[in-house]
Amino acid sequence: MHKFITLLALLPFMVLANENSLTCYVVGVSDGDTLSCFDAENRKTEKIRLRGIDAPEAKQPFGQRSKQSLSSLAHDQAATVKWSKRDRWGRIIGAVWVEPVDCHGCGHTLDVGRAQLSVGMAWWFRRYANEQPDEERQQYKFEEREAKARRVGLWQEMKPVPPWEWRKR
């Protein structure tokens, strides 16, 4: 029994240790937390759902602004995707890294999910926080807290409705 409990405790770390890396080119943005990336090596386009965030739905306040924000960060950019799972629709769930627009030659150093949080265009998706590496989880938590404190993006609203509640309605 003790070995089983130890195995369960280590499972999240084992999954993250087996993280895959995909190099691709961002060819489309569906909304503030989903994009399409062309994988030239395998000659296919993959849907990528950004790990750790949930952005407003299209008809929700800030839905279109969130999509525009992600587009300005990632569309028409080479990207590196760090991932370890797919969702039930076959989308890759991962962190997407691109070169910052203002830092040519820096490489893929901008985490677009974290950037979306920092400008108030998404919520940190606590429900799936255990699927994030610890450092990423702490950074995302911090960025959401700072965006709230600065009242930027969707945090300008008195009581912004999280997308998981919006979808239930």
pLDDT in tens, 127-159: 999 999 999 999 999 999 999 999 999 999 999
**pTM for the model:** 0.88
Q: Which of 19, 57, 131, 146 is catalytic?
A: 57
Q: Which of 46, 49, 51, 114 is catalytic?
A: 49
Q: Which of 51, 91, 114, 143 is catalytic?
A: 91
**HEC-encoded secondary structure of 49-110:** EECCEECCCCCCCCHHHHHHHHHHHHCCCEEEEEEEEECCCCCEEEEEEECCCCCCCCCCCE
Report which of residues 68 and 9 the model is more confident about.
Answer: 68
Question: pLDDT tens digit string along 112-126?
Answer: 999 999 999 999 999
Which pLDDT belongs to residue 17?
Answer: 54
**Is 49 one of the catalytic residues?**
yes
Query: What is d(CA 47, CA 81) in angstroms, rounded to the nearest whole number?
Result: 11
Query: What is d(CA 20, CA 1) in angstroms, rounded to the nearest whole number?
Result: 31
Domains and their CATH numbers in the chain: 19-168 (2.40.50.90)
Which pLDDT belongs to residue 3?
Answer: 45
**Is 41 one of the catalytic residues?**
no
Question: pLDDT tens digit string along 32-87?
Answer: 999 999 999 999 999 999 999 999 999 999 999 999 999 999 999 999 999 999 99
Residue closest to 61 by CA, chosen among 164, 167, 153: 153
Which pLDDT belongs to residue 90?
Answer: 97
| Residue 14 in this model has a pLDDT that exceeds 80 | no
Which pLDDT belongs to residue 28?
Answer: 98
CA angle 43/81/28 to nearest 5° reads 60
**Is 88 one of the catalytic residues?**
no
| Residue 2 in this model has a pLDDT that exceeds 50 | no
Which pLDDT belongs to residue 169?
Answer: 84
